[in-house]
Structure 1
Amino acid sequence: MSDHPPYLPPPEEVLEIGAPEQFAALAHPLRQRLLFALGHRPATTSQLAAQLDAKKGNVAHHLKVLREAGLIHIAETRQVRGGTEQYYQRTARHMLVAEPQAEGTAAMLAAVAQELSRSPAETHLTLRHLSLSPAKARELGETLARLVDEAEENAEDQPVHGVLVALYQQALPTSTTTA
């Protein structure tokens, strides 16, 4: 018997994040890591706790917060040894945060830092600042999104790799002089 139920894709392709409870749910690194972990297949609390090296009770609490925010749902339940095992799944394949909030962004970056530190393979992390016209920045953003989407192999027996893509316009320096 398999440790995972038959894979069914999330019910939605894209979920736009905008509700206050969704932003609050995204403001914790473990909840971000849980969303990362649920990006490819449903999993139980025990499976997620083992995968993320976290306490089962802590994982259960954060799954509840994510579920109440509508970011995950129970995809399947199974009867095991007199109990019920719940498999959690993201509600959408992609989650779009149109107007990121500082707390959620900080939590996501902290979660990525945790994932990088636990990676068994060599990682690649680059930060560059480029001078781009608005049209070129839009083109670069579309190209990066397309590259990431096209790279997915959907090979169950291969390791999962995290990809963080951020394209933003650097803020202009604030003037420190007064008139």
Structure 2
Amino acid sequence: MKQLDVLDITSFEQAKVLSHELRRRILSQYTDNQVPRTAKQLADQMNLPASKVHYHVRELVKAGLLGLTGTNEVNGIVEKYYLPVAKDFRIVLKDMDTQLEGKQKIINQTLTEFRKGFLQAMAEEAENSMLDVYHLHLTASEKEELTKEIKSLGEKWHQKVKERETDEMKSQYEIVLSVYKKESD
């Protein structure tokens, strides 16, 4: 199975599966992006019951986010090895195949999970967490320029991480970036 660098999620069903916190944690276990794992290996890695992880692995496979790379029979039991179909996933709301209500549900789930993770990080290491909110008065062209710069910055760091040649210890970070027009008070 050839793994993509980035998979743009435009399907409501895939976004719904991806917005589940445990499923994102399962995908994050593949930090090396090269070593396929069984549901049991993932469960052991995460200190979770194998049945719970197996269910969520099946959901990830069904949604096309995790792919079967091979099998191995051990003592009459078939072990299935999985790998994410991409090294990174990006939900693209503007291209999503659903109405506003579906998009709102995905946004709500994503921000709820981000909030939980951010608050936990703040409780553990407040000095290493960042939340900056800017209120900007922009023209339409300035807004487009800002959006392009933010996307470019994300792509730059994605490429930098992809090209890294060191095996030094890495920590996972989440970044949520948004530019939206605020309604006038």
TM-score normalized by the length of structure 2: 0.71
Contact kept, 8 Å, 2:9 with 2:15, in 1: the verdict is yes
> Quick check: 47-56 or 124-133, which moved more?
124-133
Match of 1:128 among 99, 119, 132: 132
Query: Distance in 2 between the 1:136 and 1:112 partners?
Result: 26
Q: Distance in 2 between matches of 1:33 and 1:56?
A: 14
Query: How far is the alpha carbon of 1:141 from its aligned partner?
Result: 3.0
Task: Tell me how far apart the structure 1 counterparts of residues 115 and 73 of structure 2 sit (CA, whole Å).
Answer: 36
Matches of 2:23 and 2:64, distance apart in 1: 13
2:76 alignment partner in structure 1: 82
Task: Show the counterpart of 1:63.
Answer: 57
Q: CA distance change for structure 1 residues 173 and 109 in 2, over 3 Å: closer, same or farther?
A: same
Contact 1:32 1:107 in 2 (8 A): no
- How many residues are treated as equivalent by the alignment? 164
The C-alpha deviation readout for 1:46-81, integer Å capped at 9, x for no partner, is 221122221110000001111111111111212223
Closer, same or farther: CA 98–149 of 1 in aligned 2, 3 Å: same
Match of 2:9 in 1: 17
Q: Choose which of 33, 43, 48 in structure 1 pairs with 2:37.
A: 43
When you count helix as a share of all residues, which structure comes out higher?
Answer: 2
Give the one of 154, 160, 180 matched to 1:144. Answer: 154
Secondary structure at 1:127 match in 2: coil
- Conserved? CA contact 2:121–2:129, under 8 Å: no
- Range 53-62 or range 137-146, more displaced: 137-146
The answer as to 2:179 corresponding to 1:169 is yes
Query: How big is the shift at 1:94?
Result: 2.5
Q: 1:136 to 1:110 in 2, by over 3 A?
A: closer
> Is 2:66–2:84's contact at 8 Å kept on the other side of the alignment?
yes
How many angstroms does 1:107 deviate by?
Answer: 5.9
Distance 1:65 1:110 in 2: 24
TM-score after normalising by structure 1: 0.73
CA separation in 2, counterparts of 1:115 and 1:33? 15
State how far apart, in whole Å, the 1-side matches of 2:24 and 2:154 are.
21
Once the two structures are aligned, what percentage of the paired residues are identical?
22
Residues 14 and 92, structure 1, Cα contact 8 Å, conserved in 2: yes
- Quote the residue 1:4 is aligned against: none
Partner of 2:98: none
State the alpha-carbon separation in 2 of the partners of residues 114 and 76 from structure 1. 39
Q: CA deviation at 1:18?
A: 2.1
Q: Which residue of 1 aligns with 2:100?
A: none
Residue ranges of structure 1 left out of the alignment (5+ in a row): 1-7
How many Å separate the matches in 1 of 2:70 and 2:119? 29
Residues 159 and 77 of structure 1, relative CA distance in 2, 3 Å threshold: farther
**Gapped runs of 5+ residues in structure 2?**
94-102
For residues 42 and 122 of structure 1, what CA distance do their matches in structure 2 show?
A: 34
